[in-house]
Amino acid sequence: MRTTLKPLSEQVMVLTGATSGIGLNTARTAAAAGAKLVLAARNETALAELAAELRGQGAQVETVVADVGDEAQVQRIAAVAVEKFGGFDTWVNNAGVGMFGTNEQVSREDMRRLFDTNFWGVVHGCLAAVPQLKARGGALVTVGSITSDRGLPMQGIYGASKHAVKGFVDSLRMELEAEQAPVSVTLIKPTSIATPFIRHAKNYMEVEPNYPPPVYAPEVVTEAILHAAQHSVRDLYVGGSARLMAAGAHHTPRLLDKAMEWLGIDQQKSSIPVSGDRDGSLHHPGPDLTERAGTDKVREHSYYMRAVTHPRTVMALAAATGVLAAAALRTRRRSAAWSGRRG
């Protein structure tokens, strides 16, 4: 069955992890575009402040304080969307947490807690969303990571959770397509993004973590999420470097292993000694309502993303460039011929 998705201005969108980084930017951008929002996060105070901000701009917003690792709380998110808006058109699984440290360093308790959020949070979200989306049609969007395709040293359990997310989302997509359900299922795979991810991550290293370059603005991920909410697409890599890494993981995995061993570990370590609490937001909500953090060297746009999400525009530009190049070549030839005749 063909899945027809509504324009954002006509949608009700559910968004988890809404009070920080990518989720915060997506909430603000979707609200500005006219979407009705059901926002979920653990930080009750931040949720209330964000809702007041968006309502002050004319948006219709409901909030649910929820830990996505708890299935009953996620079901409550869906129930609020139905109660307040009659349902939803897009569900975005965005909540997640990071961790830095070797696999030998990380405690089993922390590993399980990270999986509760990153993997089980997605499972809970998908299974809460699917009955509604099957009934009315819509988009199920999950924010994964390039580590869904390629594991990284120092982020082993994080990458493992994102591998698990990919396996679950791919399986769910096939099942829904097999029964011709009107649901678009998309997995977003960002590379390094300049959000408070590091601030919220549990850190076992002796220094503060660093963002491996290149680093993209959270707006680039928002662009991917909102594109998937309105256009049926299977996967979206955020940043050309993410696509290149995925290709390397498939075609030259051992070469990529060696590159990661040589550069990847050091690139994730800053020169700043660890200070203060480094438990991050793993076990409790952290400071929220910040979209960007961590680095001044940020790529505001991804040409790869633009090419994927706006192929007609790119083709038109390429065609126009070709026409201009051909015209310039003809002009040069005519000029050369005229000069030859004059000589």
Q: How far apart are CA 311 and CA 25, in angstroms?
A: 24
Q: How many CB atoms lie within 10 A of CB 291?
A: 19
Give CA–CA dist 123/35, Å, rounded.
24
Nearest residue to 185 via CA among 132, 232, 243: 232
Q: What would the two tokens of residue 240 be?
A: 């050309």
Q: How far apart are CA 309 and CA 161, in angstroms?
A: 27
For residue 214, is the peptide bond before it cis, meaning its omega torsion is within 30 degrees of 0? yes
Catalytic sites, residue numbers: 158
For the chain, counts of helices (H) and of strands (E): 13, 11
Q: Is 202 in contact with 280 (CB distance < 8 Å)? A: yes
The pairing of strands 90-93 and 138-143 is parallel
Three-state DSSP at 280 gives coil
